[in-house]
Amino acid sequence: MMQKMYDWVDERLNITPMWRDLADHEVPEHVNPAHHFSAFVYCFGGLTFFITVIQILSGMFLTMYYVPDVINAYESVKYLQNEVAFGVIVRGMHHWGASLVIVMMFLHTLRVFFTGAYKKPRELNWVVGVLIFFVMLGLGFTGYLLPWDNTAYFATKVGVQIADSVPFIGPYVKTLLTGGDILGAQTLTRFFAIHVFFLPGALLGLLGAHFVMIRSQGISGPL
């Protein structure tokens, strides 16, 4: 049955050549853990992407129950954890995954730096990777406020004050984030929009560019 469906789609879209091009792509020997133990450091990028996929899928699940207003935000999170089947597990995955993805990105960045993988012809890919890192930090920061409890509120308040202290653009960044003089309904709505729409859109675009350049330039060589 599955073969018939695949043949039907392949007959119309001719996807077999594209799939074979990906599947038959040779992996360099120095990134094969079976041959070199040090090749495990080349897995950091793939693990980062794997966790990112988990974050996206779990975030989509959480969005179905989350209510982004100051009256119902905390109650919706509480309902998700206590009433929805597997809700506490999915939220736990999203919560801890937000920290783990930053750790893995940091390790991946260290690997790229210390193996010289940022050098010619991969300078642009290094810039894209750094931008992805900042987008991930933004996702972590904007997502922290969404439960709308005391910890999230005061931690975000400190973060906004730090942004306000940036020379020249600080006050504008603060106004953009808070929507006013204090953290309130406008702030929560903006953080939700930035966390769910703007930053994920930027992330997907940057990841697409990142993978296209990796595919074009190949995996970098050993140190």
Tell me if 166 is assigned to some domain. yes
The SS3 of residue 149 is coil
Long-range contacts of 77-86 (CB under 8 A, 24+ apart): 77/146, 77/147, 77/148
pLDDT of residue 37: 58
Half-sphere exposure for 200 (CA within 13 Å, toward CB): 15
Return the pLDDT at 31: 73
The per-residue pLDDT for 155 is 93
The CA distances from residue 113 to 85, 144, 198, 212, in Å, are 43, 29, 29, 20
Give me the residue label for tokens 């675009």: 205
Q: Which of the residues in the chain have pLDDT under 70?
A: 32-38, 222-223
Domain membership flag for residue 37: yes
- Distant-in-sequence, close-in-space partners of 145: CB < 8 Å, separation ≥ 6: 152, 153, 155, 156, 183, 187, 188, 191
- pLDDT at residue 39, as a whole number: 74
Domain containing 145 — which CATH number? 1.20.810.10
- Given a contact cutoff of 8 angstroms between Cβ atoms, the answer to whether 97 and 56 are in contact is no
- Supply angle C-alpha 30, 34, 38, rounded to 5: 50
Q: Give the whole-angstrom CA distance, residue 113 versus residue 106.
A: 11
In a domain, 15, yes or no: no
Print the domain residue range for 101. 26-217
Q: What is the pLDDT of residues 197-219, one digit of tens each?
A: 999 999 999 999 999 999 888 77
Q: Is residue 4 part of a domain?
A: no
**Residue 30: helix, strand or coil by DSSP?**
helix
Q: Distance between CA 12 and CA 21 in Å, rounded?
A: 18
- 13 domain residue, yes or no: no
The neighbour count for residue 59, using CB atoms within 10 Å, is 20
Specify the pTM. 0.89
* Residue in this structure with the two tokens 């987008």, named with its chain if needed: 135
Question: What local confidence, expressed as pLDDT, does residue 23 receive?
Answer: 72
**Domain count across the chain:** 1
**For residue 14, is it within any domain?**
no
Residue 184 lies in a domain: yes
